[in-house]
């Protein structure tokens, strides 16, 4: 995915009310921008960090600029979760996940039970239900999800498990929007229930995949697969694995 217009550099002053951030532009002006991320942005929301912002095509939007990425150390981190499904769709169409088979149709935003899953694929003649999660937290060289307790995320795992138990194929893909991760694991210290549930669904046959992006202020693309670190899952969740 190539950004249609050059991103604008700024300095993060604060992030608040979940979806707002104040930044300082290069000319010294301070503005409020839209922050399209419902997570805690743990590790990438500290004041003083370099950021990149985009300008919306709609000039009438209340906050015309959008926070796109934050620089942590020497690594850009994508924080716009509104791009995640687009990045994963590009990766699916590019064949980055061959274990899913030959994909002939991709239908976004499909209601299942009490949830709405991100995609329903037709692959090798069978339906595949797919949920996508954005990951921005890295500790050491391991990408971790979630960065805050997520009841909604656990509910999505349960929906995938129900589909799998009904004989259908269910998949979750973690999109790591940064380049410094070498593997993926659930953040058991942050949300032990999510981590245990992820281990359970893996043991029941839900396919868990992770991909890492190449990211710069000009483009973001999922171009690298990451191993899922099963050994980091909680012991109570591994009985079926």
Q: Report the CATH number of the 8-78 domain.
A: 2.40.50.580
Beta partners for 184?
A: 143, 228
Tokens of 128: 């595949």
Residue found by looking up tokens 């002006």 in the block: 29
Q: Which strands form 137-139's sheet, in the order they lie side by side?
A: 137-139, 142-145, 183-186
Pairing state between β 103-112 and 75-78: unpaired
**pLDDT tens track, the chain, 241 positions:** 999 999 999 999 999 998 999 999 999 999 999 999 988 999 999 999 999 999 998 888 999 999 999 999 999 999 999 999 999 999 999 999 999 999 999 999 988 877 789 999 999 888 999 999 999 999 999 999 999 999 999 999 999 999 999 999 999 999 999 999 999 999 999 999 999 999 999 999 999 999 999 999 999 999 999 999 865 554 443 433 3
pLDDT tens column, 135-152 = 999 999 999 999 999 999
What DSSP element (H or E) covers 163? helix 151-165
Q: What is the pTM (predicted TM-score) of this model? A: 0.91
Of the candidate CATH numbers 3.40.50.150, 3.40.1350.60, 3.40.640.10, 3.40.50.620, the domain formed by 81-237 belongs to 3.40.1350.60
Q: Do the Cβ atoms of 49 and 5 come closer than 8 Å?
A: no
Sequence ranges of the chain with CATH classification 3.40.1350.60: 81-237
Bond before 146 cis per omega within 30 degrees? yes
Q: Residue 136: its pLDDT value, please?
A: 96
Q: Residue 239: its pLDDT value, please?
A: 37
In angstroms, rounded to a whole number, what is the distance separating the alpha carbons of residues 159 and 112? 7
In angstroms, rounded to a whole number, what is the distance separating the alpha carbons of residues 238 and 231? 9
Q: Is 19 helix (H, G, I), strand (E, B) or coil?
A: coil
pLDDT tens column, 57-66 = 888 899 999 9
């Amino acid at each position: 995915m190539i950004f249609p217009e050059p991103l604008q550099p700024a300095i993060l002053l604060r992030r608040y009310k979940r979806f707002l951030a104040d930044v300082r532009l290069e000319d010294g002006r301070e503005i409020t921008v839209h922050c399209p991320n419902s997570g805690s942005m743990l590790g990438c929301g500290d004041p003083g960090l370099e950021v990149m912002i985009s300008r919306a095509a709609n000039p009438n939007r209340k906050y015309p600029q959008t926070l796109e990425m934050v620089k942590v150390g020497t690594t850009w981190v994508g924080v716009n979760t509104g791009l995640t499904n687009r990045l994963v769709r590009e990766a699916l169409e590019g064949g980055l996940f061959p274990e899913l088979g030959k994909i002939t149709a991709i239908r976004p935003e499909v209601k299942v039970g009490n949830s709405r899953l991100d995609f329903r694929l037709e692959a090798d003649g069978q339906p595949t239900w797919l949920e996508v999660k954005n990951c921005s937290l890295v500790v050491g060289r391991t990408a971790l999800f979630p960065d805050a307790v997520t009841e909604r995320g656990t509910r999505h795992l349960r929906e995938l498990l129900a589909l799998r138990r009904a004989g259908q194929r269910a998949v979750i893909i973690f999109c790591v929007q940064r380049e410094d991760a070498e593997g993926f694991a659930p953040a058991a210290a942050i949300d032990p229930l999510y981590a245990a549930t992820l281990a359970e669904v893996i043991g029941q046959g839900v396919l868990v995949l992770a991909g890492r992006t190449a990211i710069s202020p000009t483009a973001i693309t999922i171009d690298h697969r990451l191993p899922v670190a099963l050994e980091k899952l909680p012991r109570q969740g591994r009985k079926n694995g």
